Amino acid sequence: METWRRVIADSITTPEELAECLDIGPGPLAPLVRRYPLRITRRYLGLIEKPGDPIWRQCVPDPLELLDDQFPDPLDEERLSPVPGLIHRYPDRAVWLVSNECAVYCRFCMRKRRVGCPLAGGGEGFWDDVLRYIKETSAIRDVILSGGDPLLLGDEHLESILAGLRAIPHVEIIRIGTRTPVTLPERITARLCRMLKRYHPLYVNTHFNHPREITPEAIKACARLADAGIPLGNQTVLLAGVNDDPAVMTHLMQQLLAIRVRPYYIHQMDLVQGTGHFRTNVETGLEIIGALRGHTSGMATPYYVIDAPGGKGKIPLLPDAVEKWGDTWLLRSFRGEIVEYRDR
Query: Residues 89, 107, 175, 179: which is the catalytic one?
Result: 89
- CA-wise closest residue to 149 among 122, 184, 192, 189: 184
Q: Which pLDDT tens digit goes with each residue over 130-185?
A: 999 999 999 999 999 999 999 999 999 999 999 999 999 999 999 999 999 999 99
89 classed as catalytic: yes
- Is the entire prediction scored with pTM above 0.75? yes
- CA-wise closest residue to 186 among 335, 36, 44: 44
307 classed as catalytic: yes
Spell out, as residue ranges, where the chain has pLDDT lower than 50.
none
Query: Residues 5, 21, 68, 90: which is the catalytic one?
Result: 90
106 classed as catalytic: yes
Q: What confidence score (pLDDT) does residue 127 get? A: 85
Q: What confidence score (pLDDT) does residue 123 get? A: 55
Residues 6+ apart with CB under 8 A from 238: 244, 266, 267, 268, 269, 280, 284, 285, 288, 304
Query: Residues 270, 279, 304, 343: which is the catalytic one?
Result: 270
Query: Residues 93, 135, 212, 260: which is the catalytic one?
Result: 93
Query: Residues 106, 114, 179, 312: which is the catalytic one?
Result: 106
314 classed as catalytic: yes
